[in-house]
Chains A and B, each alone.
Chain A
């Protein structure tokens, strides 16, 4: 077999595989869009559910989802950044740091339903917080923390050495160097990691189903319970009460997550030019 034919076959294989991936993505998106687009209206987005919560809109579930996500990210962000700065810049690189890193990676791969169960036992019951935004946010924190910490650490490590040298060379202390040059230089990638994590939190179902409750409710205080979009979608579909509304909710969720991912990409691309 000539080299040229081998080359052509390899190319065809690569091309087909790439095409398959893209095709699957578009099939899913198209399916949800076709089935859900008829539902989408300002009324659907901004009104409350009616009847047995199967008719009407989804507004409180959107608020619940955004509420718990925002609360979780407010807790996750500072802890993750401080931990990552410590690991990347201060900790003596050795056994202990490898163990912490390995633990974070393992934690990140715990199935989210296990994390939900843990959140139920720890926050809802043992700590008597009850089904609430706070319980759900804390459980989400457990899920997001290792992910955000690792992406932040990678972002910090990716800052070129000579940027640090420039700062030290001007008589900056270690902390000044970290705060004024390393973190700003790493910020685009840190933010990207945060936004991607936010997208994941928005789509998370297993953790919140155990910790937030299911009652349709407009959360005001962190101790209020509520029903996130993912759980609403699950109930609409599983109980077969209103499939079109389920697709409408699914489409809304996808649009939100897509929005997060695209803004992350935009941010990365824009700041690369500075």
Chain B
């Protein structure tokens, strides 16, 4: 058994992002699905305008945790959350906070590309229209700008009227990203956004993340260690040590530290592929 983990990151990692302010803070979070205690005692900051990656074996609660930030778990009956989650210092679970308003600020991309059964244009215009934008010129600009930011404009600019579901999987995923960007979120949650799509699109999504993080706070769940190392500035490693018991946050640090000199033995085992 080697002491040092095999280096997975490229030898010259991107310069670490400066430690920005916290966009989101989580303190003492406990999460339950009915009687099942899924996450316990999670305390972690999410740095502003940076990419934070959540990694860990299947079933350790990464999706559960990422859904806490836009209160998507509210839609699952019987779920319960304790502890405190703040966005810009404001408790998002305080009474009086409308999850509908929260989700405009905190957008989400899912593992399965899920365009609506309507045209490419209407998919992207969906969010702005929800929020009352009806002027054609304004919508046109938003659609174009969002598709551009999602690295999809060049491929679809002549077929905006075509059904969103006629695109390839990778294009569909970028369409979903454009759809979220059109409501101008401050935070972007991505739950395994690249696990069901082609390598070219993965590349394009990683590229757009690098640009987006200048202005948006991004959280990504990924099973791909190389991807986590490539795209993220901070990494959080979750682990459910005993089946049926709550998962914990094992380690949180700058991505370079997590991948080159993890503090916890369990993190080291995971990123060197010894389990999970």
Contact residues of A with B, CB < 8 Å?
160, 162-163, 165-173, 176, 180-181, 184-185, 271, 273-274
Contacts and interface: CB of A to CB of B under 8 A. Distances in A.
Contacts, number: 68
A181 B107 CA distance: 17
B130 A172 contact: yes
B171 interface: no
A169 B116 contact: no
Closest 8 pairs between A and B when the two form their complex, measured CB to CB: A171-B104, A274-B163, A169-B108, A170-B127, A162-B114, A171-B103, A166-B114, A185-B117
A169 B130 contact: no
Nearest to A160: B114
A163 B179 contact: no
B100 A162 contact: no
Contact of B131 (A169, A171, A271): A171
Interface in B84-114: 100-104, 107-108, 110, 112, 114
B180 interface: yes
B165 interface: yes
- Interface size grouping (class) on chain B: 20 to 34
A185 B108 contact: no
Contacts of A168: 72, 75, 103
A184 B179 contact: no
A176 B127 CA distance: 11
21 contacts: A160-B114, A162-B110, A163-B116, A165-B114, A166-B115, A166-B179, A169-B70, A169-B103, A169-B180, A170-B130, A170-B179, A170-B183, A171-B104, A173-B100, A176-B130, A180-B126, A180-B130, A181-B116, A185-B116, A274-B163, A274-B166
Given A169-B107, A274-B117, 14 more contacts: A162-B114, A163-B114, A163-B116, A165-B75, A166-B114, A168-B72, A168-B103, A170-B107, A170-B130, A171-B103, A171-B104, A181-B126, A184-B117, A273-B166
Interface string B144-184: 00000000000000000001011000000000100110010
Given A171-B131, A172-B130, A274-B163, A166 B100 contact: no
A22 B176 CA distance: 45
B118 interface: yes
B112 A162 contact: yes
Most B Cβ at <10 Å: residue of A160, A168, A185: A168
Contacts of A176: 130
Contacts of A273: 163, 166
A208 B257 CA distance: 79
Contact of A170 (B104, B117, B165): B104
Contacts of A169: 70, 72, 103, 107-108, 110, 180
Nearest to A188: B117
Nearest to A172: B130
Contacts of A181: 116, 126
